[in-house]
Amino acid sequence: MKSKMNQLFEEQKSVHVLYSYNGMKQYIEQVVSYIQNGVMAGDYIILIENDRVYPIIQKELSRRLNEEKLKFVHFVNNYDFYYSSGSYHPPAITEYFTKMVQPYVEKKISFRSWAHVEWSSMKEPLHLIEDFEKIVDEAVNTLSFPLICAYEGEKMPDFLRTILMETHPYVLFEDDLIISEQYQQIEEVK
């Protein structure tokens, strides 16, 4: 994963990856490696994460990175991020994200992001996830930054899995990064 993904990041900055994980141990290893590799490449990291999982990630990062390097990691509570308007509303989430990355974009500071997408149950209207992922894919291409969207594989209904494969050009399975054959690049998102 590391060499293949890092090579992809060197070749192009606009990289939108779906990560379907199974098990917290594997998840922690992937997110920590992603952050560590990003920081070592000189990127700032926007980590959109669960506030219960973040301390585990932070503890592992503190073993691998010095205090100065840890300053490159910006934590955002994923519940606050996805429900900033009081409900899962893609335009509000997009506005929140745009404000968050604006300083990096304006100052031409290289950054990458990791978003842990989760709900207590995947019973939200799934079309909202599709709308949001299309908006995110356009943002990744417009702003030229790498983003991994992590979803727990065991909680994904088949319909959601299809949506995610269609809205992410790359997919991380275990330690293998592949191109999604189902990806459908959006001409214009309204």
Annotated domain spans of the chain: 2-179
The pLDDT assigned to 12 comes to 81
Q: Residues of the chain with pLDDT > 90: what percent?
A: 60
Beta bridge partners of 170: 17, 179
pTM given for the model:
0.90
Q: Are 142 and 108 in contact (CB under 8 A)?
A: no
Encoding tokens for residue 14? 């606009």
CATH architecture for the domain at 2-179 = 3-Layer(aba) Sandwich (3.40)
Tokens of 158: 């088949």
Inter-axis angle of helices 126-143 and 158-167, nearest 10: 20
Q: Which pLDDT score is estimated for 124?
A: 59
Cβ 33 vs Cβ 177: under 8 Å: no
For residue 151, give the 3-state DSSP assignment.
strand
Here the tokens at position 132 are: 């949001």
User: What is the amino acid identity at position 6?
Assistant: N
- Beta pairing partners, 179: 170
Residues of the chain with pLDDT under 50: 1-2, 188-190
Give pLDDT, residue 16. 95
Which residue, chain included where needed, has tokens 């691998």? 64
Under 8 Å between Cβ of 115 and 148: yes
pLDDT computed for residue 70 by the predictor:
97
